[in-house]
Amino acid sequence: MKKLLNRLNLDPDVQVLLPDGSTRRLLDYLIPSALLMFAALLLMVSMMLPYWSMSLKAPQYPKGLKVSVYVNHIEGDIREIDSLNHYLGMPPLNEGGKVERSLSVIAISALGLLLVASVFVHNRLAAIIALPVIAYPIVFLADLWYILYQYGHSIDPKSPLGSAIKPFTPPLFGEGKIGQFGTVASPEIGLFVAVVAVLIVMLGLWFHRAAYRPIAEARRRVRTNKPT
């Protein structure tokens, strides 16, 4: 291990000199930076993966219908589901979350840049900068629930089948029922990757605090002991 660290210029014997003359390992400062950078990379990767999916099954569709939601587009049996929605007077699937999908790549890229920026912040401000990333999966799910709510409550009573189904909210996770359709909603790999990124951010912030708090304490000791 020591040979590997030496090749990477991460010799555990390399020390960082603090303001009061005490020292800490260089590795203590590299670990939080690496974790935060890795979390930023995971967020970028998550954009290419599905975040959520819903499957619908009914007697007339023995193979079922499925739609997969990415942060910037939707894939699956969209045409067939839109045809069913038409009879209920509901809008096409691509109308839901249109603004969010158009801004998603820019927004997630900005979150990644915030994490990169936090690498260069050596105080508690780093945690504040990273807060939007920590909140991101919750915001995504809350927005998705609101979109589902809007869809289920947009039935036109004057449409051919509008009077046959009461307003509803499709489940965010798990099984549900919409008319004669059974539904199964599931998180997908992209959302899991984003959650892992959040956990790594929190771990990185813990290491960040452990690394840089001694510097702030050393500065206070120097100011306290400085002769007047």
Mean pLDDT by 10 residues, the chain (228 residues): 51 61 73 93 95 88 88 89 76 84 93 91 88 95 92 72 70 83 90 97 92 73 67
In a domain, 184, yes or no: yes
Counting the structural domains of the chain, the total is 1
Phi, then psi, of 50 in degrees rounded to 5: -70, 140
User: What's the pLDDT at 45?
Assistant: 96
In a domain, 201, yes or no: yes
In a domain, 185, yes or no: yes
- Distance between CA 154 and CA 167 in Å, rounded? 8
Pairing of strands 15-17, 23-25: antiparallel
* Tokens, residue 129: 């900068």
pLDDT for position 16: 63
pLDDT at 152: 77
Instruction: Say if 179 falls within a structural domain.
Output: yes
Is position 18 within any domain?
no
Q: Using an 8 Å Cβ cutoff, are 72 and 139 in contact?
A: no
Write out the residue range of the structural domain in which residue 141 sits.
26-213
Which burial class, exposed, middle or buried, applies to 204 when counting CB atoms under 10 A from its CB (0-12, 13-18, 19+)?
buried
- 108 assigned to some structural domain: yes
Let me know if residue 4 belongs to a domain: no
The per-residue pLDDT for 15 is: 67
Strand 52-58 with 181-187, pairing = antiparallel
Give rounded-to-5 percent helix, strand, coil for the chain: 55, 15, 30
In a domain, 170, yes or no: yes
